[in-house]
């Protein structure tokens, strides 16, 4: 039986590449995005289903998962990929509370709503995989966009904290932390600068192949750094060693 795959933020970039990759593997793909024109085009290309989804709305996330289950009978993989950048900084010239709230709403609250909607549906279908897109900014530093970095750290905390409980119900949760990827989130001048400095940009198709490999594995609770020309590298997090009160 063909896999059923749901991808948010799938109208372009990494999400569109993931949709195309799984469609080539024979999966039934549900394309979710707020961009109806480009999202519909990707869905038609992969012979899948488009569901307009504003991931900052809990009801949209619930409706997306319900539509996928109704159309295809269940779920095997959900990739919560929707995200935006440019939350600004904390100086006099770049502090913008409204812009910060928008980045938090999409990158963090949107993932929370997606997890709440998708995890029970995956478990009800006998288990499966859920992948969340974080970023290398979520395990390092991003002085150019600290609010974006904060949200990407946050989703890794969600993944690692939820993974043990949901693993018991057959659902494997992992995060990916892409480095610099050639997607619309990068303006042309940024691409020119990065390449001019001699740094490699990963292609969305390369990231999509890594997502497929991670989703197919039995691992859970990991965050994988994805860079151009390299295999996925799991981040080594320190183990907590709590101090006992009688020590």
Q: Tell me the average pLDDT across 67-80.
A: 98
Q: In the CATH scheme, what is the code of domain 4-230?
A: 3.40.50.720
Q: Tell me the average pLDDT across 165-185.
A: 92
> What span, in angstroms and rounded, lies between the C-alpha atoms of 24 and 195?
30
pLDDT above 70 for 190: no
Domain-by-domain residue ranges, the chain? Answer: 4-230
- The 10s digit of each residue's pLDDT in 80-128 is 999 998 888 899 889 999 999 999 999 999 999 999 999 999 999 999 9
What is the reported pLDDT for 116? 98
Candidate list 72, 95, 113, 148, residue with the active-site label: 148
Phi, psi for 236 (deg, rounded to 5): -90, 105
What is the reported pLDDT for 14? 97
What is the reported pLDDT for 187? 67
- The 10s digit of each residue's pLDDT in 139-160 is 998 888 899 999 999 999 999 9
- Beta-carbon-side half-sphere exposure of residue 222 (alpha carbons within 13 Å): 17
> What span, in angstroms and rounded, lies between the C-alpha atoms of 247 and 141?
35
Q: Interhelix angle for 58-72 vs 110-124, to 10°?
A: 30
> What span, in angstroms and rounded, lies between the C-alpha atoms of 77 and 59?
20
Write down the pTM of the prediction. 0.94
> What span, in angstroms and rounded, lies between the C-alpha atoms of 148 and 154?
10
Asked about 72 being catalytic, the answer comes back as no
């Amino acid at each position: 039986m063909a896999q059923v795959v749901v991808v948010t933020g799938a109208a372009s970039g990494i999400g569109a590449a993931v949709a195309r990759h799984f469609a080539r593997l024979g999966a039934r793909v549900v394309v979710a995005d707020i961009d109806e024109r480009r999202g519909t085009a990707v869905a038609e290309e992969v012979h899948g289903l488009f569901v307009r989804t504003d991931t900052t709305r809990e009801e949209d996330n619930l409706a997306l998962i319900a539509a996928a289950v109704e159309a295809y009978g269940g779920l095997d993989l959900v990739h919560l990929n929707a995200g935006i950048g440019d939350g600004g900084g904390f100086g006099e010239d770049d502090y913008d509370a409204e812009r910060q709230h928008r980045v938090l709403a999409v990158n963090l609250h949107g993932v929370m709503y997606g997890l709440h909607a998708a995890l029970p549906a995956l478990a009800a279908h006998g288990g499966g995989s859920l992948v969340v897109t974080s970023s290398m900014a979520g395990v390092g530093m991003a002085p150019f966009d600290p609010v974006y970095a904060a949200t990407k750290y946050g989703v890794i905390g969600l993944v690692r904290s939820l993974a043990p409980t949901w693993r018991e119900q057959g659902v494997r949760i992992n995060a990916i932390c892409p480095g610099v990827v050639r997607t619309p989130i990068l303006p042309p001048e940024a691409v020119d600068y990065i390449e001019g400095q001699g740094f490699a940009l990963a292609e969305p198709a390369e990231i999509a192949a890594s997502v497929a490999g991670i989703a197919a594995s039995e691992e859970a609770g990991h965050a994988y750094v994805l860079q151009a020309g390299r295999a996925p590298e799991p981040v080594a997090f320190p183990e907590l060693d709590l101090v006992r009160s009688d020590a």
